[in-house]
A and B are shown apart, each in its own frame.
Chain A
Amino acid sequence: MAGPRRSRWLLAGLVAASLGAAAALTAPELLVNGLLLGCALALGAVGLSAAYGILKFIHLAHGEFMTLGAYLALFFLMEVLPALGLDSAGLGLFTFGYALLLALPAAMAGASLAAVGLDWAVYGPLRRRSAAPIVMAMASLGVAFALRALVQMVWGNGIHQYPRASREFIQLPLDIRVPPDYLFLGAAAGIMALLLQVFLARTRIGRAMRATADNPVLARVSGINTEATIRWAWVVSAFLAAAAGVLLATANAQLRPELGWNLLIPLFAAAVLGGMGSIYGALTGALVVGVAMEVSTQWLNPSYKSAVAFGILLLCLLFRPGGLFGERE
């Protein structure tokens, strides 16, 4: 009984180990940066996969939740928080200030609100009409373009930046240089993943979400209110996506309206690699995709990063369509 399971982990381990070894030999710096960026990807992919697990459709506007979160943080950083007199830049090692620590949760809350609103206005009515999953996906594509247009109407089509102070890169052993904000990104993502784990394993709502993803009919039969659970799934999914958006905008030192849309393929690659619907799978998948994308820049034009993620997605669909950890199709 442990056979297929062990072989699955063995395979995953082998893939990760060989990727890691190749990366460590050729470009240790890219490996470290890739892992840290993979953390941000992981926050996005986990939300995407969780939404799929509970709602059973691919949410194509997930990237726009990232974008929306990042721009909401910009709004708080530029318009709201300066009034409080908080340092906006240069906290310790980092380029950002205390203000970001407030803007981050505020942006996450804002994006969650938007997600619940969208469920009320768009996805909920479609669901009650028992629209096919693929129709729901179509609607989410419309939502994606509308959200992006809204962001561009408010903040313009150009590039923005959070307030930042200039900081030295951090020197690690093996001559690895890491931008300090990347370390913050990794730590913040790690903390959020931990909180998510506690939420899913220990809280009433978290358990209800897992149960609904596992067996929707039995969840209803057990007295779980599916609609409430779905609303919570949106909250969590948008929460994590917004966090990923803010952290990426901080780490990349720039913010564009295409931020989320351009990450959609890497996010799906991570989620499919981990098995659509699986939360822990998505975490691992994101790290693999993140490393592969960064390390590929050793040989490829960085503009191909998302193409590298797409390549991983294709390989996965060819050889293990259920994902590394999921059941076979």
Chain B
Amino acid sequence: MLEIVNYLAGFAILASVYAVLALGLNVHWGVTGLMNIGIAGFFALGAYTTALLTTPPPDPAKFEQFVFGGNLPGLFQRWGVGGDLWFLAGLAAAALVCALVALLIGLVTLRLREEYLAIVTLGIAETIRRVFLNESWLGNGSRGLYQIPKFLGNLAAPWLYDLLYAGVALALLLALFFIVERTLRSPWGRVLRAIREDEVTAAASGKNVFRFKLQAFVLGALIMGIGGGVYAHGFRFIDPFTFDPLLATFIVWVMLMVGGSGKSAGALLGALVIWGAWSGSQLLPGYLSNPNLRYLLLGVAMVLVLLLRPQGLLGRR
């Protein structure tokens, strides 16, 4: 019974993280038409940022190679700030770092042909992964960080933590969902949609297309960074291999396209459906659970959606 509860809790945490990533991608692609194929980069940056800020300093006795662990929970305790508020500080830092990187990428690429953003985001994700892999002083290399603290760990027995955290992740997801929805329904969001529909007309009506795109790119990246932070404290272990292109970028794209690009609800639905299918198929017997077969089906799903139902499950033409 407990096993099942914990399995479901773990599923809910990951599905929420993916939903947050898909929410960010929807701001990029679904609403603004920006092709970010380096989601893994922002996901990793967010996760490593909060992990490094909150992890205890390295212990030479364990041959840990990284040099900085911010130990935010300890600091907050010393400053007399309770209620595990360090968690929000970590997430804010994750969002900030991603926003800054997105700002730099956007400044370089968003004035150019739209394909260049795709190439550059792909490159940045790969580069970030290699940096965390090779620079052991930064993130403990391939051994990864494994002492990421629990949020509200005192409130629940260790074997119930996943369930508690699933609630936290879901609450954060819903909060982000409503914030994003409100933002997209604001005049600012309407301009983004106008740009996506017809860039030339939007520019002709006096909108600074570049600036709006840049803002949207930063907003989406910031959401992805928060997704990374939520992941880090949920699983309390990250390493560079967590952020591979397939499970940290491509699957998010499939989620958004299947759910219905352009709609936040589509991002949520897609994350649930695809992550359900992905983790459910792990339980299938024999060759059906072969990971390569599942990769193949994911690629085929992407192509089929584009060919047969470009609007996804929720979208309308």
Interface set of A (CB-CB < 8 Å, partner B): 57-58, 60, 122, 125-126, 131, 133-135, 137-139, 141-150, 152-153, 157, 261, 264-265, 268, 272, 276, 301, 303-304, 306-307, 310, 313-314, 317-318, 321, 329
Chain B residues positioned under 8 Å from A272 (CB to CB)? 116, 119
Complexed CA–CA distance, A304 and B124 (Å): 12
| Residue pair A317, B116 in contact (C-beta under 8 Å) | yes
- Decide if B295 touches A125 in the complex (CB within 8 Å): no
- Select B292's contact among A125, A138, A157, A303, beta carbons within 8 Å: A157
CB distance from B314 to the nearest CB of A (A): 18
Q: Does B250 contact A (CB under 8 A)?
A: yes
Instruction: Write the chain B residue with the least CB distance to A262.
Output: B126
Q: How far is the CB of A285 from chain B (nearest CB, A)?
A: 13
B130 contacts A304, C-beta separation under 8 Å:
yes
A122-B303 in contact (CB<8A): yes
Q: Is B172's beta carbon under 8 Å from chain A?
A: no
A277 to chain B, nearest CB (A): 11
Scoring B residues 107 to 138 as 1 if CB is less than 8 Å from chain A, else 0, what string do you get?
Answer: 01100111110111011101100110110000
Task: Judge whether B245 is part of the interface by a CB distance below 8 angstroms.
Answer: yes
Known: A58-B115, A135-B310, A149-B292. Contact between A143 and B303, CB under 8 A?
yes
- In the bound assembly, the distance between CA atoms of A58 and B35 in angstroms comes to 12
Contacting residues, chain B, for A149 (C-beta < 8 A): 292-293, 295-296, 298-299
Given A145-B246, A145-B302 in contact, is the A317-B118 Cβ separation under 8 Å?
Answer: no
- Is B281's beta carbon under 8 Å from chain A? no
Contacts of B301 in A (CB 8 A): 142
Q: Which of B253-298 contact A (CB under 8 A)?
A: 253-254, 257, 290, 292-293, 295-296, 298
Establish whether residues B122 and A321, one from each chain, have CB atoms under 8 Å apart when the complex forms: no
Shortest distance between the CB of B221 and any CB in chain A (Å): 17
By the criterion of a CB under 8 Å from any partner CB, how many residues of chain B are at the interface? 42
The A/B interface has a contact count, at CB < 8 Å, of 125
Q: How far is the CA of A80 from the CA of B246 in the complex (A)?
A: 33
Task: Give which listed residue, A141, A148, A264, contacts B302 with CB less than 8 A.
Answer: A141
- Please, which residues of chain A bring their CB within 8 A of the CB of B302? 138-139, 141-142, 145-146
B19 within 8 A of A: no
Starting from the known contacts A303-B134, A306-B130, 14 additional A-B residue pairs (CB-CB under 8 Å) come to A135-B306, A137-B118, A142-B301, A265-B126, A268-B119, A272-B119, A307-B131, A310-B127, A313-B120, A314-B123, A317-B116, A317-B120, A321-B116, A329-B112
Which B187-212 residues have C-beta < 8 A from chain A? none
Complex CA–CA separation, A143 to B300 (angstroms): 7
Minimum Cβ distance to chain A for residue B14 (Å): 19
The complex places the Cα of A152 from the Cα of B296 at a distance, in Å, of 10
Q: Are A152's CB and B253's CB within 8 A?
A: no
Answer whether A301 and B134 are a contact pair too, CB < 8 Å, given A134-B115, A265-B126. Answer: yes
* B296 A150 Cβ-Cβ under 8 A: yes
- Say yes or no: A329-B113 contact (C-beta < 8 A), given A58-B118, A137-B35, A304-B130: yes
Contacts known (A145-B299, A153-B296); A304 close to B134, Cβ less than 8 A = yes
Q: Decide: A146 and B134 in contact? CB cutoff 8 A.
A: no
Closest to A57 in B: B115
> Once the chains bind, are B298 and A126 in contact (CB under 8 Å)?
no
- Inside 8 A of B131's CB, which chain A residues have their CB? 307
Enumerate 6 A-B pairs (CB-CB under 8 Å) in ascending A order: A142-B299, A149-B299, A153-B290, A153-B296, A268-B123, A329-B112
Query: Does B33 make an interface contact (CB < 8 A)?
Result: yes
For B123, B134, B298, which residue has the most chain A Cβ atoms within 10 angstroms?
B123
Residue of B nearest to A306 (CB): B126
A134 and B123 contacting across the interface, CB-CB below 8 Å: no
B contact residues around A153 at 8 Å (CB): 290, 292-293, 296
Cβ-based interface call for B307 (8 A): yes
Contacts of B124 in A (CB 8 A): 310
Tell me, rounded to whole Å, the shortest Cβ–Cβ distance linking B195 to chain A: 14
Contact of B119 with A126 in the complex, beta carbons under 8 Å: no
Smallest CB gap from A147: residue in B: B299
Partner of A141 from B130, B250, B296 at Cβ < 8 Å: B250
Q: Is B37 an interface residue (CB 8 A)?
A: yes
Evaluate contact between B118 and A125: CB separation under 8 angstroms: no
